[in-house]
A and B are shown apart, each in its own frame.
Chain A
Amino acid sequence: MSNTNPLDSQIYRFVTRPRQGNDPRSASLLADAHTLGLTAVQRLDCLDIFFIEGTLAPSQVAQLASNLLSDPITQSVEWGRLLTGAPGSKSPGYHVIEAALRPGVTDPVAEQIVRSASVLGITGVQRAAVGLRYEVYGETLTEDDLLALARRLLVNNIIQHFTLGEIEPAFPQAAQASGQVEALPIRSRSDDRLLALSEERRAALDLAEMQAIQQYYQAIGRDPTDVEFETIAQTWSEHCVHKTFKAAITLTQEDSPDASEKTVISNLLNTYLRAATQSIQAPWVRSAFVDNAGMIDFDDEFEVSFKVETHNHPSAIEPFGGANTGVGGVIRDVLGVSAKPIAATDILCFGPPDLPLDHLPEGVLHPRRIRSGVIAGVQDYGNKIGIPTVNGAIVYDPGFTANPLVFCGCIGIAPKGSHPRQPLPGDRVIVLGGRTGRDGLRGATFSSMTMDGQTGEVSGASVQIGDPITEKGLIEVILRARDARLYHAITDCGAGGLSSAVGEMSSQTGAEVELQHVELKYPGLAPWEIWLSEAQERMVLAVPAENIPALRSLCDLFEVNITDIGAFNDSQRLVVRYAGQVVLDLHNEFLHNGIPQRQLQAVIRTPAIQSDAPPGLAHIPPTNANHPPSIRSIPSHNPLSKMLLSLLAHPDIASKADVVHVYDHEVQGATIIKPLIGKMNDGPSDGAVLKPLAGRGRQAIVLSNGVNPQYGKVDAYRMALSVVDEAIRNAVAVGADPQRIALLDNFCWGDPKRPETLGELVQAARGCYDAALFYQTPFISGKDSLNNEYLGADGQRHAIPPTLLISAIGIMDNFEHTCSMDLKTAGNPLYLLGEHQHAWGGSHASLLAQTSPTQGRPPGLPQQAPQIYQTLHQAIWRGWVRACHDLSEGGLGVAAAEMCIGGRLGLNLVLPDDDPATWLYSETNGCLLVEVDASHAQHFEALFSQLAIRKIGMVSSQPRLQVTCLDELAPCIDIPLERLLQAWKGDSR
């Protein structure tokens, strides 16, 4: 594309305009502008711009305009040669802002324009670009207003450039492939200069690591090339190697009587997470902590895989692209275990949507904008690639303002034993999928650093936009290649790009790669950029030479790029060439095992607990019920009702229907317990159940999650216990067999170099271990994202609350034994199962009552919980249970209200004593509300006779929630269903 003749090649500019005034896209932007306080904007029209460069006859330009670039019914189109410097403004009060993608940002539409022009028989098109034109009207608008509108709403500087007036497209500069490799003198550097080099190249390596590199090169008698240094930095990054979880941690207990008492943990991952799995020895676990995703048995024929990743840093600076590629990345993880992706999950943590603008740290996007961008990014990728998004959560806290969290999960299914894992010497190194550009350079090290106001500008290249349709092509090709047994190993290109993918695959063998064979998006990339690029939608396969023709023909059919870049061998070395010249030559042993173990200090602060106590002893007796928040201080004629309605309206608890409906949760036809459920399809399901089309039997997959940063702020250990419990409880509530549930951990934390922060991480890992053993649920996969901190212009550190996401995957043998949370039939009794713990620490009631969050601890694990779940599962299996819902944020009151909403029925609750606030709004683990078929009530009670069970109410045909205290006549709460609905749903439908 660089060989255009400037004499006959022209850039044409096309603008399409909706024919009718009521364009939804423009209307929604105008509303957003007003929300941002830009009320001087009276009208805003959003138009599409296309730029096409080529040698074209006038009739061809007209044909492109009318047949390709516009819809004849709804749009008009105007076009002409690109004129630079056109003012754009036509009359007073009327202004134009135009935006276009920065050069090199993935632009699938532009690629389709070039392809489709040739379908139309127009061969002279060389390249294309797209942009957006905003026609803004406002009598009093100033230039400052327009700049604010552009920066705060219309344009993201990271991926777009804009101008007031007409814009020119920015194509990547045509440059000669440099082939340039730089040697980095390292052997004689002082410690200070070693650290300076790490900083200069944004390598995020510490002194010990830099010294290890120095020693290696001193021993082999040369200096590293830039390709080698960057490769080591990526391979040794927190993101790739999880060095904090593998560090040697010296632990001290704050306020310990013996201050010299220290414990050393050699490896958090092995000590707590892997250890739990090894100790439980579940026979149905097929792969834990080994592959790109964890795997468990599904039925006799299939196994399922599950992986959850985070994409926090990229989402902070470019929410759409960050979330978009987060989804794309985790789908590739599942594809990387040769499985068909069948469902996606997403759990999102944002700053408060109503954060005042002047509270926003410099360089940080407003939480509303991050939220809408992230949700649009998840929607775009999942919907387009055809994978249903079936489970998730959204929580808000000021701690996530600068560091939003985006957890993306993907579930896959594959025939048992169909995933090959070992490349053989002689196998070709094959790259499938997207072409390589400068996208996402140094993403792995970027994600391992604290961000500041400059991060967006410096790391702009780390952000990518996804191309789900290219990844869809990968799915089509790889599943067929797997069934034809065409490859010996496969992995995805994630952080670190080819360096990490090829490096990992050849770590037991060796490989040679020629970078000049890699297909590029545009020329001019230095060798290290090609090798490290995190361009999306690529997979690396080890393919025996004799299978290449078959793989090529599959790629040809599905229009997927395939490139042979080298071969695996048994040299135990990784050798990379560019145009024949060796640019990297490293021993596997050094690259993969040469990283020194980090030595870290952790301090455990009180009020954390001695967690080596056997699980179950963490249970706190109800007498230790701390201090209820001063609910009665809330002004209202009925503080109890007011609290319930406020809880239902809290953004963490309120209906997520507006988000659920923009995700396709039905594609693939397997979602049999849906995210919204009940009489009007709007109740909040505890989990999702999938019955995959592939499975021939009655087995089904259950998905659920637990996350609670409010608990994390108070007590990381208890948070871990609680979120493990909640994930399991949610799964059991919809029908999972408690003995067939596996867990995934995702730790999102601040900077682990701070001993207190690391202490909390240790406590959470301990909590995972204790809870996993308590419930006998193994961990099969996990991931950590550390350094979620933001260094503000004020010099203050803004760290996230310690946040642990536990995702649960359960298998049930018969999908008929599922259960939903909506009340079914008036007259049925309602039971409270489990020991209610009356805990207030980190509760949403405390949050609303603005009690100090550290007042009291979050709940622990009630001793009977495992038995309760097992017994409940039996009752569901016998068909006695009509509805079942877990008690989580907002406690029993919220759970009961949600059950009423789901079934559009009423409830009469009778509380055991005269402390309704505690029963209704304190929080607890291990408890569920269960509607039981009246004709089986006796059987049900008998089944639970040795366990904590309390008949607490009755389903009523009167559409109201009534709560009465024992021995009192008048209800303390009596709220019509309509009011509950209004509080919980707002305007959403």
Chain B
Amino acid sequence: MSLNTPVKALILHATGTNRDLEAARAFEMAGALPEIVHLNQLRRRERRWEDYQILTLPGGFSYADALGAGKLLALDLQAFFTEQVTSFIASGKPVIGICNGFQALVKAGLLPDSKHLANNHSAHRQQATLTFNANGRFECRWVHLAPVSPHCLWTNGLQEIIYCPVAHGEGRFVLPDPGDAQQLAQQNQIALVYAQADGSPANGVYPLNPNGSILDIAGICNPQGNVLGLMPHPEDHIFPFQHPRWRRGASGGLGLHLFQNGVNFIKQ
């Protein structure tokens, strides 16, 4: 694709989405042209999926988290857009779901892998879930994320630990069989893990791992590596002055690099 053609990032807005502006700002900083598009605009075909090179499902409380975080947005995706989202993913374009967006991707059966279909074949089958934090509380605090998958286009090549906040009540990644997590690890589908400041594993220790996720999982990708879902908010650390200790001279750990990876993947 030509260097001069802007990379268009679709930031999907559903009722209750609230971190769409930060995601848009992050993509703008990363060199893309973000557009916040309401789900209804896509339903009415006022906007077309194929006009965008990146799909973002930002954070928020879609439909108030009623019946489980991300659940009803997942239902919308399945009911209205199964075909479009499937082909977006199949085309290899970057897709990122942050926090509520991650919850929706998982509950729509698009992560860890969209190859599993539901019994009636009309949608994807949910293979994992994000459920209530182990301590039962909402957690807003800064965490260190180690990018561990060379396979995911979003984290590929990231050397530095990402430092950014989590803000969620339902972020504990759960699989039906704990053994499945090892399999995800072997397939390089664990993209980001909660870590200590030096990058060593959090080993499930609260609050380094804020929600009790198995294997400290903070983000996973699909087997193709183009779809990333993560609970933390790298879009809330794109400027040095957002760092909690910038007054102490601390810097680095910007979440911006993740977005740059997504945009550069299209530009290259």
Contacts and interface: CB of A to CB of B under 8 A. Distances in A.
B236 A109 contact: no
Contacts of A671: 242
A112 B242 contact: no
A666 B167 contact: yes
Contacts of B241: 672, 691, 815
A621 interface: no
A67 B245 contact: no
A250 B167 CA distance: 53
Contacts of B60: 386
A989 B131 CA distance: 22
B18 interface: yes
B266 to A, nearest CB: 24
Contact of B134 (A24, A71, A119, A467): A24
Given A386-B60, A557-B40, A120 B75 contact: yes
Given A25-B136, A822-B248, A669 B22 contact: yes
Interface in B21-59: 21-22, 25, 38, 40-41, 59
A538 interface: no
A74 B131 contact: yes
A286 to B, nearest CB: 25
Interface string B231-268: 00101101101101111100000000000000000000
| Category for how many chain A residues contact B | 35 or more
A674 interface: yes
Given A672-B246, A677-B247, A820-B247, A69 B67 contact: yes
Given A386-B60, A669-B235, A681 B245 contact: yes
A940 to B, nearest CB: 18
B167 A28 contact: no
Given A469-B61, A815-B241, A112 B176 contact: no
A760 B126 CA distance: 63
Contact of B19 (A112, A556, A667, A672): A667
A73 B103 CA distance: 13
Interface in A96-112: 108-109, 112
Interface in B171-229: 174-176, 206-207
A116 B61 contact: no
A820 B246 CA distance: 10
Contacts of B128: 73
A558 B15 contact: yes
B38 A557 contact: yes
Interface stretch (A484-492, A628-636, A656-664): A656-664
A583 to B, nearest CB: 35
Interface stretch (B3-11, B138-146, B150-158): B138-146
B178 to A, nearest CB: 11
B22 A467 contact: no
B87 to A, nearest CB: 21
A472 interface: yes
Given A74-B129, A113-B67, A669-B235, A473 B136 contact: no
A819 B247 contact: yes
A292 interface: no
A116 B141 contact: no
Contacts of B134: 24
Q: Which of B59, B72, B133, B238 has the most CB of A within 10 A?
A: B72
A664 B232 CA distance: 12
A467 B16 CA distance: 11
Contacts, number: 159
Nearest to A903: B248
A55 interface: no
A818 interface: yes
Contact of A669 (B25, B66, B80): B25
Contacts of A801: none
B21 to A, nearest CB: 6
B61 A379 contact: no
A681 B245 CA distance: 8
B220 to A, nearest CB: 14
A668 B140 CA distance: 13
Contact of B242 (A74, A556, A672): A672
A108 B62 CA distance: 12
Contacts of B206: 989
Contacts of B79: 119-121
A25 B132 contact: yes
Contacts of A68: 67, 71, 75
Contact of A667 (B15, B18, B129): B18
A473 B61 contact: no
A72 interface: yes
Contacts of B131: 71, 73-74
Contacts of A713: none
Nearest to B64: A469
Interface in B57-100: 59-61, 63-68, 71-72, 75-76, 79-80
Nearest to B41: A557
B64 A668 contact: no
A664 B64 contact: no
Given A73-B174, A113-B67, A383-B167, A669 B242 contact: yes
A72 B140 CA distance: 27
Given A667-B18, A693-B21, A469 B242 contact: no
A95 interface: no
Nearest to B24: A693
Nearest to B72: A116
A985 interface: no
Nearest to A467: B64
Contact of A383 (B21, B61, B136, B233): B61
Contact of B248 (A27, A28, A473, A824): A824
Contact of A386 (B19, B75, B165, B207): B19
A939 interface: no
Contacts of B126: 71-73
B137 interface: yes
B159 interface: no
A664 B165 CA distance: 10
Q: Which of B38, B64, B128 has the most CB of A within 10 A?
A: B64
Nearest to B22: A669
Q: Which of A71, A109, A815 has the most CB of B within 10 A?
A: A71
Contacts of A27: 136
Interface in A813-841: 815, 818-820, 822, 824
Contact of B133 (A24, A384, A669, A815): A24
B244 A71 contact: no
Contact of B15 (A469, A666, A677): A469
8 contacts: A73-B126, A73-B174, A112-B66, A469-B61, A557-B38, A681-B141, A819-B247, A820-B247
Interface of A: 23-25, 27-28, 67-69, 71-74, 108-109, 112-113, 116, 119-121, 379, 383-386, 467-469, 472-473, 556-559, 660-669, 671-674, 677-679, 681, 691, 693, 815, 818-820, 822, 824, 989
Q: Which 8 A-B pairs have the closest CB atoms?
A: A386-B18, A24-B136, A112-B66, A73-B129, A820-B247, A384-B61, A469-B64, A666-B165
Given A661-B141, A666-B236, 5 more contacts: A120-B79, A661-B140, A667-B18, A669-B235, A679-B245
